[in-house]
Structure formats: structure tokens, C-alpha cells
Amino acid sequence: MYPTHTRYYLGFNLTPGMGPARLARLVAHCGSLEAAWNADAFDLAAAGIEARAASALLAARARLDLDAELLRAERAGATLLTLGDPDYPRLLREIPGAPPLIYVRGTLSSADDWAVAVVGTRSPTPYGCEAALRLSAELARAGVTVVSGLALGIDAIAHTAALDAGGRTLAVLGSGVDVPYPGRNRRLAERMIEQGALISDFPLGTAPTATNFPARNRIISGLSRGTLVVEAGERSGALITVEFALEQGREVLAVPGSIFARQSVGTLRLLRDGAAIVTSAEDLLATLELTTASVQREARIELPTDPVEAAVIAQLGYTPTHIDELCRAAELPVPTVAAALAILELKGLVRQPAPMQYVLSR
């Protein structure tokens, strides 16, 4: 049974032209999601919703049976997650314009807080295939979730390598989660449902069209702490994922390739422009501070947050704070704060950018 707000998020998701920005404006004007769904033409106009989008919403409200749509999702094996749900991916929630609702086939986990996108060309060289395979397998064995887009080439290799290594992997689709694309990767998609998930913000039944794929790339990067490009030509779609990663403040990394290969034009340009170079999984793990991902993941599950940890976390931000200052602010003795910080570091919730200084981790 879904909470009431899921019905309204689903209704907006099924309304053409009602994206995150328009929805946020409408909810801010109306005061609640339910009021926004039931807004009349006057309120829609007052909220700055253009006439075409307003007409689409009024028409959708008249034709949609939201309970029937929820049942349809259940029959398709899809779970609906909204921004207000605790299981909504933490990293994705942080990005500007996060999708208000996503469809999931499979399972998401707190382990996916340690995720890296591995993307690249649909026509890789043998070198690119081997690099994607080895790096993705090593990431999976290190406890890192591999995120990609289920496309042919680098995407499919990354997903397969993670699965074969016994790890988790997530695919973000440019279609409905009930229409995995391309057809050649449907068996791979079924495997992924058992060891990860298929994810989309497109409604069920949405066919894959060219315009869908650039939009889905923002979710690939949004789910990930960093985006690794293995091979990418001059106009590769992987470079769109890079643009989103940069806008979201996420790390961009690239595997160096041959100066003679067209598949390396994009990656070499990224390296020239400052992307972190990756020649091994260790490079990537160190750059993204994921060297203890599996330990942090287990610690987060096994070590519950207690009042002392909460008090320490409440005093931290993204500006380094010395432990002495933390003690004063939290009104706790140094040994108590030091012990709490050690546990929070193990959980991956805080880190030390300098000795005895602490910040929140992303």
C-alpha cells in the first residue's frame, strides 16, 4: 500500500510537460501536493503554469484512474518511489531537479550510496571492452554499485562484469522499466533485476525514442558519486552524462586511450580538460574515497546511529571543523566525540580533509 502522495506524484508523472520545475512551482503556490493535483485553471495560471501544460494537467486529471495505474505498476513488477520516500536513492535526491517519481524493477539498497557510473561508446575497441570489464568487476568486488544505461557496448559490458563478479548494478532506461531496451539486452536486464534494479522516470509502456536518452543520463550521473568514461567518440552520448555530472558537482573520470582511435577522442579531451585519469580500480577508488566502501556499507547497516552520533553530525557541514570546536558546540568531552567520529568515518558519513578537522561526506 502506497502513501497518498504517491498517487499524486504518479498522476503528475503521467501528465505530459509536468516536469520537476513546473511541479515545484505549482506545489509551492498551492501549499500541498494534493491541492496542486486538484488546482483549477486560475491557480494553474497564478502558479505560472503555461496554458499548454495547464490544459494537459486538466485533461490528465479527467481521464486518469490513479488507483488503476498503481495496480498496473504492481502487475508490471514495478515499485514507485517518490522524493518523499525514505527508500528514494540518497545521491539522486541531492541533484537539482531530481525526478519526483521513479519506477524500479528489482531492489535498491543503502549499499547503492557507494555507486559509480561506468559509461562509454556503443562501439568499443577490444581495449575498451577489456578496460570496462576489468574495472567494473573490480569495482563490484570492492563493494561499489556499478551504474550504467543498458546500451550495447560499454554499458552492457559494465553491467555484465558487475553481475559476474557477484556485485550490484543499476540500469537507468530511456524507456519504461517494462520495456527494457535494446531487445538484445533483455536477458541481461532480467539478471539485473535479481542483483540490482532497472530504473526509469518514464511512465510504464514508454517506448525508447532518441529524445529520451539524454534526459535519462542525468539520473545515471545523479545516482553515482562519480562518472567513469571508458571510451567515447567526439559526439558520444556518454559526454552528455559527463555534462550532467559536472552540473551536479560529481567527479568525472576517464580511461586514457589511443590517440589514433576515434573512440578515444572524447576521453582524451576530458583528460585534457581536467578529468581524473583512471588506469586501475585503485585510481578510481582513491579519487572518490571509496577504498573502504564495503566496510562503510556494512558499518552503516550494523552500527545504529545513537544520540551522541546525531549530536556530532548536527554540528558538521561542508566547511572543516576542528574536533575541539565540535566538542564545545556539542557540549561533549573529547573522548566521547572522538569515538563518535571514528564510527561516523567508518560509516562513510564524515571524513577528515585535514588532521583533526571533519566535514560531512557527500
Which of the four pLDDT bands, split at 50, 70 and 90, describes residue 305? Answer: low
Residues 257 and 334 reside in one and the same domain = no
- The pLDDT, as a whole number, for residue 247 is 95
> Among 255, 287, 319, where does a domain finish?
287
Q: Kindly state the average pLDDT of the residues 340-351.
A: 83
Average pLDDT over residues 196-217: 95
Residues 314 and 185 in one domain: no
Give a yes or no: residue 253 inside a domain. yes
Say if residue 142 is in the same domain as residue 279: yes
Average pLDDT, the chain: 91
Report the interhelical angle of 154-164 vs 186-194 (nearest 10°): 40
Residue 98 covered by a domain: no
Q: Which of 10, 44, 65 is the last residue of a domain?
A: 65
Distance CA 118, CA 288 (A): 14
Q: What is the mean pLDDT of residues 329-347?
A: 88
User: Does 236 lie in the same domain as 115?
Assistant: yes
Do 222 and 152 share a domain, yes or no?
yes
What confidence tens digit (pLDDT) does each residue in 246-256 have? 999 999 999 99
Q: What mean pLDDT do residues 349-359 have?
A: 84
d(CA 242, CA 235) in angstroms, rounded, equals: 12
Q: How many domains does the chain have?
A: 3
Average pLDDT over residues 343-347: 83
Q: Confirm whether 114 is domain-assigned.
A: yes
Whether 158 maps to a domain, the answer reads yes
Q: In this model, does residue 10 exceed pLDDT 90?
A: yes
**pLDDT of residue 304 exceeding 80:** no
Reply yes or no on whether the pLDDT at 297 is more than 60.
no
Tell me, yes or no, whether 209 and 250 share the same domain: yes
H, E, C per residue of the chain: CCCHHHHHHHHHHCCCCCCHHHHHHHHHHHCCHHHHHCCCHHHHHHCCCCHHHHHHHHHHHHHCCHHHHHHHHHHCCCEEEECCCCCCCHHHHCCCCCCCEEEEEECCCHHHHCEEEEECCCCCCHHHHHHHHHHHHHHHHCCCEEEECCCCCHHHHHHHHHHHCCCCEEEECCCCCCCCCCHHHHHHHHHHHHCEEEEECCCCCCCCCCCHHHHHHHHHHHCCCEEEECCCCCCCCHHHHHHHHHHCCCEEEECCCCCCCHHHHHHHHHHHCCCEECCCHHHHHHHCCCCCHHHHHHHHHHCCCCHHHHHHHHCCCCCCEEHHHHHHHHCCCHHHHHHHHHHHHHCCCEEEEECCEEEECC
Cα–Cα distance for residue pair 12/35, rounded to 1 Å: 12
Q: What is the mean pLDDT of residues 1-6?
A: 85
- Residue 221 and residue 125 share a domain: yes
Q: What is the CATH number of the domain that holds 271?
A: 3.40.50.450
- Please say if the pLDDT value at position 97 is more than 70: yes
Model pLDDT, residue 353: 78
- Whether the predicted pLDDT of 175 surpasses 60: yes
Residue 231 has pLDDT above 60, yes or no: yes
Q: For residue 149, tell me if it sits in a domain.
A: yes
The pLDDT score that the predictor gives to residue 300 is: 56
Does 85 map to a domain? Answer: no
Residues 138 and 162 grouped into a single domain: yes
Tell me what the mean pLDDT of segment 260-283 comes to. Answer: 94
Domain match, 162 and 282 both: yes
Q: Which of 229, 227, 288 lies closest to 257, judged by CA?
A: 229
Q: What was the pLDDT predicted at 291?
A: 64
For 15-19, 47-51, 264-268, 356-360, which range has the lowest pLDDT when averaged over its residues?
356-360
Residue 354 belongs to a domain with what CATH number? 1.10.10.10
Whether residues 194 and 280 fall in one domain: yes
Least confident range from 4-13, 131-140, 188-197, 352-361: namely 352-361
Q: Does a structural domain hold residue 92?
A: no
In this structure, the answer to whether residues 334 and 253 fall within a common structural domain is no
- Is residue 7 very low, low, confident or very high in pLDDT (cuts 50, 70, 90)? very high
Range of the domain at 235: 110-287
